[in-house]
Amino acid sequence: MMQDSQQAPAPIKQLPTRYDGIAKVTGTAKYAAEFTAPFPRKDLLYAWIVQSTIPSGTITAIDQKAAERAPGVVTILTPFNAPKLSVGKSQPPIKRSLNVLQNADIDYNGQPIALVLANSLDQARYAASLLKIAYAPTPARLDFSGRLGEARLPKSAGKPVPDTHRGDIASALAASAVKIDETYITPVQNHNPMEPHATIAWWEPSAGGQPEKLNVYDATQYITGVKQSLARTLNIPVDDVRVQCPYTGGGFGSKGSTWSHVVLAAMASRIVQKPVKLVLDRTQMFGPVGARPGTINRIQIGADASGKILGIQHDAIMNTSVMEDFVEHSAAPSRMLYTAESSLTTEKLVEMNWGVGTYMRGPGESTGTATLEIAMDELAHKLNLDPLQLRLLNYAETDPARDRPFSSKQLKDCYQQAASRFGWSKRNPQPGQQLEGNNLIGYGMATATYPANRQACQAIVKVFPNGRAFVGCGSQELGTGTYTIMAQTAAAALGLDPAFVEVKLGDSILPTAPVSGGSQSTASYGPAIDAAARQVKLKLIQLAINDKASPLYKPAATDLDTQGIDAKDGALFLKSDPTKSDTFAALLTRNGNQSIEATGSAEPAADRTSYTAQSFGAVFAEVAVDKDTLMPHVRRVVATYDIGTLQNDKTGLNQLVGGIVWGVSFALHEETLIDPIYGRTINENLAGYHVPVNADIGAIDVTVLNIPDTKFNPLGARGIGEIGITGAMAAIANAIYNATGKRVRSYPITPDKILTA
C-alpha cells in the first residue's frame, strides 16, 4: 500500500468521448433493476411496498386474507409477522432510522408498513390494494411555519457545528450605517433522478456448514455503505455481503444512504429463499427516501457607509422528522464567504411528521447561497454600490470562520472573467428600466461556493502482457464520468493511452472507496489510482533494468537508476536517450507472460486542518419577465469556477451546466407541497412536481480557471458535482429584481409572488 504520490501529477490525456458512452446510448449499460443472472428469471419475485395513509399513530390490525388469495401472491410481510432485526441505526454515510416492519408505529404519511411478494409486479401491486389496514391515529405535527416557536438545537449536530459566534454581533449591527434584516424561505424539495431507487437481493445457499451469502444489485451512490448497513442490520458478517452497481441513473444525494427498501428486499429474499426485486414507484420517491428540508432564514447584515461589512447574523430554522435529526447547514456560507468583524449563525430544527431530510445536490451551500446572496444584493442596493463591487470590497483572502488560509482561492479571477463575458458593465442598476418588446430585462449575479472534500480510498491497477491495463475501485458511476476519469488517471501515471485501459467499479469486492457525495469522488479515488499506477510503472522499470534482453538493462542497477526511465505510449524509455525503449507488451512477454499489478491507497493530507479547501465561482444571469403575465424566463447564464484542475472537459463542463440547470429549477420551479391535514405529498409525481424542460433553459456559458490545487490534492483536482447549483438561484432572483423592482424572498419565484411583492 502507498500513500499519495509526492511527484508532480502526470499530464492527463483526455478521452474524447465518455468511456461508458457507447454502452449507455446502445442500451447495453445495465442498471440495478435490469439484472437477472445468475439466477433464473422464473425464480425472481417482485415486491411492492405498502405505505401508511396517516401521518401519526399506530397500526392496530391488518386484514390480509383477500390479498393472500390474489393471483401470484407468495407472501405478505407486516409488522405482525416480520422477523426481528438489529435495526437501531444503519451505517454511514448517515445513520438512518429504518422502517423495516419492526413495530406498528407510524411517523409519517407514506411510511413503509407492509411488503407484498408475488410472481409479477402487477400481481404484487394489485394484492397490496386489497390489504385492509386499521389505524389508531394520534395528533400529527404538520404545520411547519406555525411551530417555529418549538425550534430546538439538533440533538446530534455533527460537523459543522450548527451555531458559530465571533466578535460582538450586537454592537457591530448597532454601529452599522446601513443594515438589512430580512427573512428568506426555501421549500422542501425532492430528488427525482431518472432511475428510481431499485434493489434486487438474493442469497446463495449455504454449503458445507458455511453461512449464506447475500448478493445485492442496488441503485446506490455508496456500495460500501450498503454492504456495511446490510451486514449490521441483518446481523451477518460484512464479508458475507456483496453489493454491485455498475451504473446509477442519477442520485443527487438520495442514493447516498441505505433506505428501508434495501433491507426489506434482502429480508424478504431470505424468507422466501428466492431472488426479490423491489423498485420504487415514482410516487414512492416522495417520503421514504428523503428530501431537502425547507428552511426559514433570517439574515441581518450591517455595513459602514463605504460598504465594508461589520457583522453578519444568519439564523436558520428547518424542518426535521420526528424519526431523526437532519441539519441542512444553510448558514455555512454566511460564516466564511465574506469578511466581517463579527458573525453569528444558528441552525435549529422543528420536528414534523414528515419523511426524513437528507442530502440533496449542494446540501447547505445550495440553500445558503440562495438566501445569503439575495441579502448581499439587497445590501448593495441600499448602499448604492454595484453588487460585484460590494463582494470585492468584502473579499475574504483567508477563511474568516476558521482563521486559516485557503489551500487555493482564485475567486477574484472568476468574478473578472465571468463579468467580462457576460457584459456586466452594461447593467442598469436601476430596476425596471430595461424593456425589450413586452419583456422586462434584468441582470443579476451571485457567488458560488462548495467545500472541497476527500476521504481515504484504495484502488488496484494492472498491466497485462498484451500491453493493456486495468484499473479497479469500489466507487460508483452516477453519470458524472467516473469511468472516464479512472481510465485517464491510470493512463496518465502509466504513460498509456486511456483507450487501452479497462475500468471496473461498482462492486464491493473491489478496493473500497467513499460515498459518491460531497463532491469528493474524483479527489478521493484519483490519488489512490495514481499511487497504484506509479507502483506498477516502477515494477515495470525494475523488471526492465534487470532484463538482459531489454534496451534498458542496467547491470547492478540501484533504485536511483529508475529515475532516469519514464513511460510513454505504452513503452518505457530512457530519458537521456529516448531511442532506447521497451514496450510493456514485449517486456512482459519476455518475462513469463505475467501481469504486473499493485494496490494503492490515498488519504487526506496530514495537515488538512491547517487550511480550508473550498471551491468558488461567479454566476451571472439574464432574465426576461413578461410585463403582463410576470412569467420569468432565464435567457442566459454565464459562470466561471475555480475548482482546481478540470480532469475532463466533456464530463466536467457537463456537470457544471447540469448544476446550473438545477439552479434554474430551484429558483423558478421546484417545491414539494405537503397536505396540512393528512401529511401526504400532494404533488408526488412529475406532473405536479415541476422541473424545467428544454424550453425553460436559455444559453449557458461555463468556463473554469483550471488552476491546480496541489495542496489539497496531489492531482490538483477538487470535486465539481455540486458547486454548479450554488449561487445560480440567487443570481436569477437578483436578475428578476433588477428587471421588475420586485424583491421576492421565497423560492420558487413564481408570477404570483412577483405580483404581490
Q: Cell digits for 332? A: 455555512
Helices (H), 361-441: 365-383, 387-393, 411-422
Cell of 578: 529516448
Query: Whole-angstrom Cα distance, residue 53 to residue 582?
Result: 70
Distance (Å, rounded) from C-alpha 573 to C-alpha 468? 17
Catalytic residue among 347, 670, 671, 722: 722
CA distances from 361 to 190, 230, 722 (A): 11, 25, 6
Antiparallel, parallel or unpaired: β 469-472 and 501-504: parallel
Burial zone of 573 (CB within 10 Å; 0-12 exposed, 13-18 middle, 19+ buried): buried
Q: In angstroms, what is the C-alpha Rg of the chain?
A: 28
Best CA proximity match to 20, nearest among 432, 479, 703, 673: 479
Helix (H) or strand (E) holding 558: none
Q: Check: CB of residue 141 under 8 Å from CB of residue 322.
A: yes
Q: Which of 290, 281, 263, 289 is nearest to 128 (CA)?
A: 281
For the question of residue 722 being annotated catalytic, the response is yes
Q: Give the per-residue SS3 of 443-467.
A: EEEEEEEEECCCCCEEEEEEECCCC
Q: How far apart are the first and last CA of the chain?
A: 61
- Give the span between the Cα atoms of 171 and 494, in whole angstroms: 59
> E-assigned strands of 468-548?
469-472, 501-504
Beta bridge mates, 248: none
- Whole-angstrom distance, CA of residue 476 vs CA of residue 2: 22
User: Among candidates 328, 395, 399, which has minimal Cα distance to 609?
Assistant: 399
CA-to-CA distance for 417 and 696, rounded, in angstroms?
26
For residues 425 and 434, give the distance between their C-alpha atoms in angstroms, rounded to a whole number.
14
The set of catalytic residues is 722
